[in-house]
Amino acid sequence: MRTKNIFSVYLLLFLVIHFSYAQNKYEFSQPPEGFDKYQEEISHGKVDTISYKSTTVGIHREALVYLPPSYSSKKSYPVLYLLHGIGGDQYEWVHNGNATAILDNLYASNKLIPMIVVFPNGRAMKNDKAVGDIFSKDKVTAFSVFEDDLLKDLIPYIENNYTVTPKKDYRAIAGLSMGGGQAFNFGFNNLKEFAWIGGFSAAPNTKTPEELLPNPAVAERNLNLIWISCGDKDDLLIYSKRTHTYLEKYEIPHIYYIEPGVHDFKVWKNDLYHFSQLLFK
């Protein structure tokens, strides 16, 4: 009998360890029909337009802030910073990604931890509009400059003006395409600031895995979630795959979610639906 008990303990231990490193095989069901559609009959969050002083750029910059339907200034909330792609701006997730409808519907189904979601303009330059040649050197460089703007200017503004918990375990960063690369670059480079990182179809601006995590074990000690997702027919899949392969090599727990699709909002809406439900739990 004792032998059986010992065997059972070892079997359970094996399954726990196996599961912790098998996050990269996690499978999700498709979101329900209408998950991204506005529903009149439910409660809705509020979207603020803010203007914050950017010492990094030398101007006041705008961002959108989504407050959950239950928001109260008497409570403290975690924050998700959700980044756009190379051709977008602070409005992209709201206008093209139906992000507020997705979040509202999830709250109505009691599937989310109440959180504030910030939609910044990740092109940190004086003329930050997505006009002209969006691939020009100065505009691409501005996506890197946004790291300082985010950490030194935007996050302090949010934490001074909203009731949030100013600790890394209550701070997440994620994004699509160019914003996915930013999320990886900034998140892994600032493990004392973010504990939840998500890249949706990360673009070529994503640093190599060796640059992102020269010491992979540090990520395991400091992060609650690493999410990597991409459409199976996306030409940029190679950048997600190489990050996944590196993390898998060093047995760093993460979710690697390859889904049907290309480089578009059908995929990214699906990613937001799933990723947001894992946060702050």
- Bridge partners, 28 (sequence order): none
Region 2-278: CATH code: 3.40.50.1820
Nearest-angstrom CA–CA distance, 276 and 205 = 23
- Rounded mean pLDDT of 233-243? 98
Would you list the DSSP string of 64-85?
EEEE-TT--TTS-B-EEEEE--
Q: 93-132, pLDDT tens digit by residue?
A: 999 999 999 999 999 999 999 999 999 999 999 999 999 9
Q: 184-216, pLDDT tens digit by residue?
A: 999 999 999 999 999 999 999 999 999 999 999
Instruction: Say how far residue 8 (Cα) sits from the centre of its chain.
Output: 38
Q: How far is CA 240 from CA 22, 130, 201, 278, in A?
A: 17, 25, 7, 19
Residue 3 clears pLDDT 60, i.e. is over it: no
Nearest-angstrom CA–CA distance, 148 and 139 = 15
Residues 51-79 as b/e (b if ≥16 CB within 10 A, e otherwise) read ebebebbeeebebbbbbbeebeeeeebbb
Nearest-angstrom CA–CA distance, 209 and 241 = 10
Residues ≥6 apart with Cβ < 8 Å to 6: none
CA dihedral 271, 274, 280, 281 (to 10 degrees): -160
Instruction: Say how far residue 42 (Cα) sits from the centre of its chain.
Output: 25
Q: In angstroms, what is the C-alpha Rg of the chain?
A: 19
| DSSP category for residue 1 | -
How do the domains of the chain map onto residue ranges?
Answer: 2-278
Nearest-angstrom CA–CA distance, 222 and 116 = 22
Place of tokens 């990723």: 275
Nearest-angstrom CA–CA distance, 115 and 170 = 9
Query: Confidence class of residue 27 from pLDDT cuts 50, 70 and 90?
Result: low
Report which of 40, 64, 67 is spatially closest to residue 52, judged by C-alpha positions. Answer: 64
Nearest-angstrom CA–CA distance, 60 and 248 = 42
Q: 127-179, pLDDT tens digit by residue?
A: 999 999 999 999 999 999 999 999 999 999 999 999 999 999 999 999 999 99
